[in-house]
Amino acid sequence: MSGPDPLSVLAADAAALRASSRKQRTPPPPPENEPQLYEKRRGVYPQKVQGPFRRFKWLVMFVTLGIYYITPWIRWDRGPYAPDQAVLVDLAHRRFYMFGIEIWPHEFYFVAGMLIMAGIGLFLVTSAVGRAWCGYSCPQTVWTDLFQHVDRLIDGDRNAQIRLANGPWTAEKIAKRAIKWTIYLVISFWTGGAWIMYFADAPTLTRDFWAGDAAPVAYATVAILTATTFTLGGFMREQVCIYMCPWPRIQTAMLDEKSLIVTYKDWRGEPRGSVKKAAKDPGAFGDCIDCNQCVAVCPTGIDIREGPQIGCITCALCIDACDRVMGEIGRPRGLIDYATLDDCKREAAGETPRPAWKTLLRPRTIVYFLAWCGIGLGLLFLLGARTRTDISVAPDRNPPFMLLSDGSVRNAYTIKLRNMESRPRDMAITIDGVRGAMMWTDEMDRADAARSLTLTVPADATQPLRLYVVAPRDTPAQAITFAVRSLDERGERDSGETRFEAPEVNP
């Protein structure tokens, strides 16, 4: 396996797998003088299937949908000055709440770090267990699965669905379509409606939404998400995976011959023949009885026996279907199985397959895992080390200094004191440097000027201050530092250094 890159290896393996099943390939090449402009979507009517992977998909669906719908309704007490919603993206006030963590806009690197972790997590999962994201937890997969269950509920299983789709528009079909699409719409609306709950207090927003008092953007967001869920989940389905989503394309670069994928073991299955034929002519046929169950249950409508392909989201439902058939006819399970291309080769050559831990624990997955952990620990460290008190100082640049009538020099500064705690806090701000300098704010009397001022900064807010500093006659230009200290048990400190400007030569 040295030399060629994983992509070409995959392609070559895929070609080899397909070559064996080319007989079954149906689409004839269009004549050269009749170019095909477009391809009509072929309907996908996946059959109901039972098995461990189907049960796993149910579990993932309940957990992910549960998280999505319920999270905004979890309450979290933060005291009287902060919202009590556990997870809240408060765009209006530029705050992001996640249980005990509150993030300000300037701390957005935490969110960026989490997104990077999510990205590396995808790489990790892909290199270890293939397209598990696509197969189980991608929202497109989850909602498509949900909508396909609705299909089965209203129209019946695969055959009934096909009959109905191909049949004329009778009253029954119209009624069934109307009911089904209404259910689609309700699910879609619920999906869009749940989304906006992350951006405002959920109970209040729900009340406002139905009273017509919510912000226009709330209605627009619900409308757009309802429309996209209805279209993408109800009708586009596998088209999204095959034509729109970049992730399957990236996967072809991410997967290698050591990644777990859903594989049809052609050396075991080919040539295909029915149980009857095999009984007549033992030894002439492989294990595949060509029952097409793997195709019937596939939610993207592909034939896994053609080999790894972009349309396969590795949901493993074909494994459930094939294992059931193999069990019924008394042949060994695993004709379609989670396996790496390497293992397939070994098995085909009669060697013993590598143990599973060797598939999971290899340099690539370990490097991804360490990078993922490193970023995570770094973020946790930063989270623990951050202070909730902050000062920023901007000196007036026009005019840089001001000569007063008694010859003293005044500088003006715009100071921002940040109190990131959800309670008002007293803070002391002190001048460090510039002998004899005194300060006062524009809301104070100059007579009260002092070296140190105490003020209360409101909860979870930035307090802007217009500060005047006056220094005695002939004070030279020099550095000045404003130190802030929170007057509470935390005693947090921060300081901002800037310049105190003065005339170069006092006239």
Partner 1 sequence: MANDKLASGSRLDEATGTQTVGHEWDGIEELDTPMPRWWLWAFYATIVWGIAYVIAYPAWPMIDRATEGVLGWSSRGQLATEIAEQDKARAATVAALADMPIEKLPDDPALMRAAVAGGRAAFKVNCVQCHGAGAAGSIGYPNLNDDDWLWGGNLKEIEYTIIHGTRQPGGKDTHTSLMPAFGRDQMLTDGQISAVADHVLSLSGRAKPNATGAQIFADNCAACHGADGKGDRQFGAPNLADAIWLYGGSKAQVVQQISNARLGVMPAWGGRLDPVTIKMLAAYVHSLGGGEAFAATAAAPGETAAAQAGAVPQEAGDVRP
- Minimum Å gap between C-beta 507 and partner 1 is 5
One-letter amino acid of 100: G
- Which region holds residue 51: left if phi is over 0, alpha if psi is between -120 and 50, else beta? left
> Which listed range, 16-24, 76-84, 286-294, 323-331, lies at the site for partner 1 (CB under 8 A)?
16-24
Q: According to CB under 8 A, which one of 4, 5, 25, 63 is a site residue for partner 1?
A: 25
Nearer to partner 1, 44 or 88 (CB): 44
Q: According to CB under 8 A, which one of 164, 236, 319, 417 is a site residue for partner 1?
A: 236
- Minimum Å gap between C-beta 72 and partner 1 is 32
Nearer to partner 1, 60 or 477 (CB): 477
Site for partner 1 in 269-298 (CB under 8 A): none
Nearer to partner 1, 77 or 443 (CB): 443
And the tokens for 203? 């109970």
- Minimum Å gap between C-beta 262 and partner 1 is 18
249 part of the interface to partner 1, by CB under 8 A: no
504 part of the interface to partner 1, by CB under 8 A: no
| Most distant pair of Cα atoms in the chain: their distance | 117
How far is it, in rounded angstroms, from Cα 142 to Cα 302? 18
The radius of gyration computed from the CA coordinates of the chain, to the nearest angstrom, equals 33
396 part of the interface to partner 1, by CB under 8 A: yes
> Which listed range, 39-47, 160-168, 205-213, 374-382, lies at the site for partner 1 (CB under 8 A)?
39-47
Calculate the CA 398 to chain-centre distance: 47
Which of 154, 148, 177, 166 is closest to 45 using CA atoms?
148
Nearer to partner 1, 303 or 343 (CB): 303
> Which listed range, 179-187, 318-326, 397-405, 456-464, lies at the site for partner 1 (CB under 8 A)?
397-405
- Minimum Å gap between C-beta 132 and partner 1 is 25
Nearer to partner 1, 36 or 166 (CB): 36
How far is it, in rounded angstroms, from Cα 222 to Cα 493? 44
> Which listed range, 12-20, 60-68, 99-107, 339-347, lies at the site for partner 1 (CB under 8 A)?
12-20
Q: According to CB under 8 A, which one of 75, 243, 377, 386 is a site residue for partner 1?
A: 243
> Which listed range, 24-32, 74-82, 272-280, 377-385, lies at the site for partner 1 (CB under 8 A)?
24-32
Q: According to CB under 8 A, which one of 2, 355, 398, 491 is a site residue for partner 1?
A: 398
Contact 157, 48 (CB under 8 A): yes
**Phi, psi dihedrals of residue 409, rounded to the nearest 5°:** -115, 130
Contact 375, 113 (CB under 8 A): yes
How far is it, in rounded angstroms, from Cα 341 to Cα 343? 5
22 part of the interface to partner 1, by CB under 8 A: yes
Contact 442, 464 (CB under 8 A): no
And the tokens for 229? 């869920």
How far is it, in rounded angstroms, from Cα 317 to Cα 311? 14
Which of 446, 433, 426 is closest to 482 using CA atoms?
433
How far is it, in rounded angstroms, from Cα 174 to Cα 51? 34
How far is it, in rounded angstroms, from Cα 146 to Cα 434? 69
Which of 506, 438, 451, 446 is closest to 477 using CA atoms?
506
Q: According to CB under 8 A, which one of 2, 32, 283, 352 is a site residue for partner 1?
A: 32
How far is it, in rounded angstroms, from Cα 61 to Cα 141? 9
Site for partner 1 in 399-458 (CB under 8 A): 399, 402-407, 410, 412, 442-443
User: In 374-387, which positions are buried (b, 16+ CB within 10 angstroms) versus exposed (e)?
Assistant: ebbeebeeeeeeee
Nearer to partner 1, 38 or 210 (CB): 38
Nearer to partner 1, 119 or 407 (CB): 407
Nearer to partner 1, 41 or 451 (CB): 41
Write down how long the chain is: 507
**Phi, psi dihedrals of residue 428, rounded to the nearest 5°:** -110, 130
Site for partner 1 in 304-343 (CB under 8 A): none
255 part of the interface to partner 1, by CB under 8 A: no
One-letter amino acid of 108: F
- Minimum Å gap between C-beta 38 and partner 1 is 5
- Minimum Å gap between C-beta 468 and partner 1 is 6
Q: According to CB under 8 A, which one of 14, 87, 455, 461 is a site residue for partner 1?
A: 14
Residues 6+ apart with CB under 8 A from 1: 9, 257, 342
Q: According to CB under 8 A, which one of 239, 252, 292, 441 is a site residue for partner 1?
A: 239
Q: Can you give the binding site for partner 1, defined by CB under 8 A?
A: 11, 14-15, 18-19, 22, 25, 27, 29-30, 32, 35-41, 236, 239, 243, 396-399, 402-407, 410, 412, 442-443, 468, 473, 507
